[in-house]
Each structure stands twice: as C-alpha cells, then as structure tokens.
Chains A and B, each alone.
Chain A
Amino acid sequence: MKHTISILLENRFGAFDRVANLFSGKGFNLHSITIGETEIKDVMRMTIVTSGNDQIIDQVLKQLNRLIDTLKVIDLSEHERTERELALISVNYQKGTLEELKNISDIFRGKIVDINNKSIMIEVTGPPAKINAAVNVLMPYGIKEMARTGTVALKRGEQINALKEDVTE
C-alpha cells in the first residue's frame, strides 16, 4: 500500500541527503519525493510517497524520526489530507486532433501553456490519480515529453502550529 509521509526538516547542509540516503541505504521504496520551503524560517517540508507492508512503514517512520535533522514526521495516510501534483505534458498534434486535445485538457481542467507547429504543452494539476488518468488519455496522441512534480500533501482541518505538535512515533 502507498503511504504519503510529510516531514518537517531543518533547512541545513546535508539534511535532504540524509533522508534520501536513508531510502537507498535501507532499501525502502521511493515513489516520489518533493521538498520546498514552509511558513517557518529554516524549516523545509518534504513529502515522500513510499510503499510497503505495515512493518516496513513502521521502520520508515522510525528511521526518519531517528534522523537528527527531522523535526516532525507524519504518515498522512492515517489522516484526512489533500494531495496534489502538477504535470507538464507535451503532446503531438495533427490537423484535426488539436480540438480533441483542447477538449481533453478542459475535461481535466488543464491549461495549454505552449504550442508550436507539431506539439502542445498541457499543464494539469490534481491528485496523482487524476494526473495518471490524463496521461493515459493523452498517451495515444504521442507524449513527447513529460515532467511531474511528485506529490505534495497537507493534513486537512484546523492545524495548530506545526512544530508545537508532538512528533509522531
């Protein structure tokens, strides 16, 4: 089963590497990893999508908590959450298919952000499953290039100050 794990991390030399290294060193699965600034100075948020049985996920969380630079580790899979991903998808078009592609983009509430004689670039955002669906539909037209951000996610509902909460065990 896939798990989305959110980590608050010191914005310090080598902190990101420690998390990434943990996944390779311990042989944990890593489906996506994102990192960006937060509302707190010197604190970054990493969102990691991993998978494994309960015992493995337990170890992933414990090993992440064990790192000195991690301030908070939450398995969001246990909570109500919002997950989003952004994809830029460059697709071939021919005479006649441009209209279809525009319709598909509309259906996925995407945006056409670039066009030239042979291809258009569509921007799609949404939960990862929606991105997958868009990719599947666009595939037959010939995807030339694609970039996905990986999942970012937040817990839903009222939040207290992120760092004041207890660290999940």
Chain B
Amino acid sequence: MSSSPKMYDGAEILFESLRRENVEHIFGIPGGATIQIYEKLYDINFLKHILTRHEQGATHAADGYARATGKVGVVLVTSGPGATNTVTGIATAYMDSSPIVVFTGQVPTNLIGNDAFQEADIIGITRPITKHSFLVRDVNDLASVVRKAFYIAKSGRPGPVVVDLPKNVISAMAPLHYPEKVEVRGYKPKYEGHINQIKKAAKAIANAKRPLLYVGGGVIMSGATPQLRAFAIENNLPVTMTLQGLGAFPGTSELSLGMLGMHGMYWANQAINHCDVLVALGARFDDRVTGKLETFAPDAFKIHVDIDPSCIDKNVEVDVPIVGDVGQVLDELRKAMPHKPDTTEWWKEIRAWQKECPLTYDMSDGKLRTQFILERLSEKTKGDAVIVSDVGQHQMFIAQYYKFTNPRSLLSSGGLGTMGFSVPAALGASFGVTDRPIISISGDGGFAMNMQEILTARYYKRPVKFIVINNSYLGMVRQWQELFYNERYSFTDLTGANPDFHKVVEAMGVKSFVTSRIDEVDGILDAMLNYNDGPVFAEFRVIKEEMVFPMVPAGASVSDMILDRLDPERLV
C-alpha cells in the first residue's frame, strides 16, 4: 500500500485547481452547501475572497472584473437562493459575452430532486443563459471540470460557465491530477480566418468609394485594438462603434464617428445608410444598432468578421462572412489590401453631416444636465477612466459625451440592459484595475437596485467614484412615455419614492456630495478624483425632463431619426 496516492477532499481540489488557473479574486457569499469550501478558504492566501452583500452583486462584480481585465471573473455562492440570485448576473454576462465562472453549491447528490432545503435546479435554470454548465457528480472529475470551465469561459466567444458542486462531492476524497492539457472534443473555436474570404474582403474595401468600419465589443475582447487602429489609419477609414465597441478606437480621433444606432450620432447613422462597403468587426447586428433591418445599410456590400459562426447571417445576410479572431483577421486583411481606397469624397459627405446636426444640448435655463457633467468628466479624466455605467438615459449620454480613448474603459450592460449593474461591476473592476480611476455612474432608479454593494466597496476600501445622476424618474421609460405614449407617466415618477441618496451613502460611512448647481460640478468632480481614502460618492440632481437625442424609434429606419424635442419627426 506504500504507493497509494495522497488524497484530497473536493474543497482542496477546487482551490488547487483555482490556483492553477491563476485566479486571484473570488466574489461570493457563504452558505450551508458551501460551508466546507469556505472552511478551506479560511486558510487560503493565494487568492482574495470578496464578501459581497448579495449574490447578484457578486456576479456583476465578477463580470465587471472580467470586462475590465480580460481575465475570467469567479463567483462562489451557495445552493438554492444563493444560486438563483446569480441568474440576472449570469444572463448579463452571457448577452455581452463576458467570461465568468460561477461555482454554485448544491444539495448532496442523494437529495437532488427531493425538494431538499435550499435546493434549486440551477443547471436547468441557467441553461439558456450559459455558454456551458457542469454538474460535478464525482469528485474524481472535479479538477478536469474546473479546467474545462475556465477554458470554455475564456476561449472563442467568451461567456459564463456554471459549475454546480453538490455538498457530498466537496467532502469526498480523491487524488489530485490537474490536467495540463484541455480537450473538449465538441468544441473547437476557430481563430484563423479563411484567407480567400479575407482577400475578397480586402478587394472590396480597396475598391470602395464609401467604406465604413462598424466595430463591436468583439474587437475589445480579442485585444484587436492595435490592429483596428492601424487598419483604419492606413486606409483612412471612418469608424463607428457599438456601445460595447466604444474604446476600441479613440473617440478623440478624426476617424471616429462615435456610436451608431438608436441613440447614435446623426452622421454615424447617415454613414450606415450611405456606405457602399460595410465591414462589421466583432459586432452582431443587434436591433438597437440596425433599427428596421430592411433599411439598414441598404446598398452596402457587407463583410462580417466574427468568432461565433452563429452570429453570421443571423440578423443581416452578408456577402463575405469571415469566421475567426478579429485581431488575426485584421492582420491578414492589412497584408491583403491591394491598394488604399480613395475616401476623400466620402469624408467630405461625412463632415457635412457632422456640421449639419452636431451633438448639442441647451443649458440656458440654468438647470443642471447629465451631458454637462459627462463632458466635464471626460475632459478631467482625458477619456481614460474606467466608466461603469448603469442602464438608461445616463448610459446613452455616456456613450455620446464621454470620449473613450482606450479599450476596456466602458463597462456597460448592453445586451441584457441590466439596471443595477454599475455599482457591483465597478466594485469588481476596482480589484482588477488599479492604475486608472474607476467611476460608477448610475441613474437614481438603477442605483437603488444594488446600492448595498457600496458597503462592500467601503469595507474593502475600494477607490471607486460612485456617481448618481438623479432626475427622480425612470428616465428612459419616461422618455418613451413622453414621445410615444401620450405623456402618460405610468409608474416612472420616483419623486417621494427616492431617499436622500447622499445621506444613505453617508450612513454607510462613505464621503458624499450632493448638488443641483452647475457651478459646483467641477469642484465636486475634482474632489472625487483626488479622493484617496476608499470610495467616494456624489449625487447630481439634474433636470427631470431631459431626453436623449438623437433617437431612432424602436423598429424604425435609422433615417427616421428624431433629432431633438422640436423635430417634427417625433409627431410621425
């Protein structure tokens, strides 16, 4: 018996596996089904566990961490309610292809299906919102499952993976073999684009009169920012970005047209309408981008580069599909360009659109507006902060007014549109990024949905700048009600429902500011940016009735943009 291998329990195997995956941070909350894991965690030094105040917060935090760093975010929660509380966070990560691994406790295998205490079929519940999931039924499989979970989460088109850990598996003993190689025979992401397709694309771009790059979050995930910049500059190509793509190309560049789509720039949407070659890079033709499909880039020859074959021809049929990693494809595309396109005339058209309808707002009534705060913030941080937005009007104002200069600078729930994302995601990002300011910006509605995580930020002394733009409304819904529902403000007015946010946050032990005055904005932002003792908070009370323009109504053509409050289009 002298040669029998050393045995480890499931919890030890789990942590050794996490160490091999270079996990440095875990976000979670302990519970009955995971108590054995936490018992081992008590002595673990190679990673830091962050105790959040809600499992949704833990999941968004891991997601924020993943988006800010490109590393896999890790969550550890208990069974039943612990697991179900992660659902919104997992769906948020899934829709924006963010790599997270969620470890959920589970009742012992002999009780599964018995309606045991704190039992939930989390694998079943999360099936449509995960890239993959595992129920570990044998401790001997645990190490290889963890290896596969991390590999699947971060490779190809990234996404969330759930690993369900029954309590008896965690306490069972097994030898430890962490697989060096990972092999998942049904999963082979393709990184290299087909060279003939790339040549076809290069030829079309070179001969285009009105080419346009339409850039999505895939470029940032792939780390293809340098390739994109080089390709656009070499060929003098206009670049428009989706919400998730912002930062892939500097918003300050002459070649940047900013965001396109529902609240995109007038000129970006005009360019989409008039381009003759459209190059979609790591973007998925989402309905918030395209509006009415029949009128989206109607005359364009369409090239689509994406790592996920199922994204291609899903919403819009394209002429040249290229499946592969967008960075590698752009490298090849640069080499394959026969000559540069002549875009001189095209740029004249675009410049004319930019002059025709510039992005403006009017503050002559002396009331504070979100746009102004964001312009000041963009200038003060030189477009280089990590902005973590929530969902709604302020999110679109951020996309319009903050001039992102670097990738992984806007963390925002784009696909799912999850209110309550910002506070925990910023908390999570702050553990991964320490050399740039992390600024969480929420509306008053979304802030109240997860503001408990300010407690976590305070406890761990995270230097996050939390901003609430308070218009006492669920503003984006209010905007639709004003524009399309006869000004019937059904359940969107939060006046009287909101607390004094700055007092609530102060009671959490966090330095806080509040103002409704334009002339105090600079001072407060400076104070926040220079604050070095943990989190800091400001509530900006802005005009209630402001709307986000321009706007393409849902399902309309991008040419039917509403430009401002007085635009007759809004009456159509």
Contact = CB atoms under 8 A, between A and B. Distances in A.
Interface of A: 10, 13-14, 17-18, 21, 25, 55, 58-59, 62-63, 65-71, 163, 167, 169
Contacts of B310: 59, 62-63, 65-66
8 contacts: A10-B185, A10-B186, A13-B137, A14-B135, A17-B124, A62-B310, A66-B308, A69-B186
B317 A68 contact: no
A62 B132 contact: no
Nearest to A60: B310
A21 B309 contact: no
Interface of B: 123-124, 127-128, 131-133, 135, 137, 152, 184-188, 308-310, 312-314, 317
Contacts of A167: 188
Nearest to B128: A25
Given A14-B123, A169-B309, A68 B314 contact: no
A71 B313 contact: no
B308 A68 contact: no
Contacts of B312: 62
Contacts of B152: 68
A66 B310 CA distance: 7
Most chain A CB atoms below 10 A, which of B123, B184, B185, B317? B185
A71 B152 CA distance: 15
Given A59-B314, A169-B309, 6 more contacts: A14-B127, A21-B128, A59-B313, A66-B310, A68-B131, A68-B187
B185 A18 contact: no
A104 to B, nearest CB: 45
Given A66-B309, A67-B186, A14 B317 contact: no
A65 B312 CA distance: 13
Contacts of B314: 59, 62
B130 to A, nearest CB: 10
Contact of A65 (B184, B185, B309): B309
A21 B137 CA distance: 22
Contacts of A59: 310, 313-314
A66 B127 CA distance: 14
A65 B323 CA distance: 14
A119 B307 CA distance: 58
Contacts of A163: 185
A46 to B, nearest CB: 13
